[in-house]
Homo-oligomer: A and B are copies of this chain.
Amino acid sequence: MTEVRIGLVGVGWMGQAHAKAFKASPMYFGDDAVPVLEIVADATPELAEAGAKAVGCERWTADWREVVADPRVEVVDITTPNVTHAEIAIAAAQAGKHVYCEKPLAMNVAEARDMVAAVEAAGVLSLVGFNFTKNPIQGLARKMIDNGDLGDILLVRGWSDEDFGTDPNLPFTWRMDKAVAGTGALGDMASHALSLTQMLVGDITEVCGRMEIMIKERPLPLAVASGTGHLVEIGTEMRTVTTDDTVQFLCTFANGAPGVIEASRLATGRKQLLAYEIQGTKGALYFTQERQNEIQVYRDTDPAGERGYKTVYTGPEHPNYEPFNPMAAMQIGYNDLKTIEVHDLAVAVATGKPAEPDFGFGLKIMETIDAVALSAAERRWVRTDEV
């Protein structure tokens, strides 16, 4: 059994999800490469201790630099708010640690470039937590596109629609604060749609977008709110929202295909419509996270009169499904995607072979995000190499 020892910075909801995945990994993938939690950090001693207890980790600290400096730690895992990613990641890389960072990679392209430079200079591995790319059904999508089953790509659509924000009483959290989050729906949600479409179709070269803050202020919560904060009680004090509720943008992929990407936290009626549609000259795909165990597949090569979108359920033929279930359509869940992700991380560390999506990919996503933000601000088309 090869253990990979992890120092986790941030033990809120997402950090705890990582910790669960570390424990689940050997249950499903065996002990060739087992992620093990060595120490956790959070902003205060109280948060750190409570988080450590929640995830069953004996060691904790309120100083993330202790994690970075810890000689037993091989991987620094960062789940703190976006504004802290770069500093921690760069310090970790400079300390010779592999770095595993939640998405979006950074506050902006400049930070992301520094992060990429740091891991490259240190020769350490990196991984960005775009866990939805780990869905076994995306393996089918990727194989079909790489095989040319879709032909030349004609159009790409991506959506990330949730309606948790439609309620005006949803409390203000760090995600609504530009200083801490960078952007709102764009970085938090569109980044997921970008991770799927850019993984499948490639880089984006130019964008033209718009962003709107439609609910201008929100009540402050009475306690620190984790995640989207929708379960926390609110008070009467209001605070101005400075990140986008919704974003839509046109774009062009490197292969010439036009695209449209949208995200909204006010998408009434949609719960997890993290979706894409990819149309090619020979076929097409449609996927939505609301039905993450299936994909819609269209092949223009089917006989005339019998062409149509086909519902294919995840099954043992798709990568990383069979460890969870022996038969198709038995369903994997959100947490299983994280388990696949951390297992990929552990295998990368154990073998020294790069994991994906790495910081280089995370930077590509940040370039799109920054270009969209600039485009929205200046109301013009922006090339991703401008930012």
Residues of A within 8 A of B (CB): 13, 19-20, 23-24, 26-28, 56, 140, 154-155, 157, 162-164, 166, 208-210, 212, 214, 227-228, 230-231, 246, 248-250, 258, 260, 262, 264, 266-272, 279-284, 286, 289-294, 297-298, 300, 302, 304-313, 315-318, 324-336, 379-381
Contacts and interface: CB of A to CB of B under 8 A. Distances in A.
Contacts of A330: 272, 333-334
Contacts of A250: 208-210, 248-250
Contact of A332 (B157, B289, B334): B334
Of residues A164, A214, A269, A308, which shows the largest number of chain B Cβ atoms within 10 Å of its Cβ?
A269
Copies in the complex: 4
A292 B292 CA distance: 11
12 contacts: A20-B28, A154-B264, A154-B268, A166-B300, A227-B326, A260-B260, A268-B298, A269-B300, A271-B313, A304-B317, A306-B317, A330-B333
A164 B266 contact: no
A227 B324 CA distance: 13
Contacts of A289: 329, 331
A24 B262 CA distance: 36
A334 B333 CA distance: 8
Nearest to A161: B279
A331 B281 contact: no
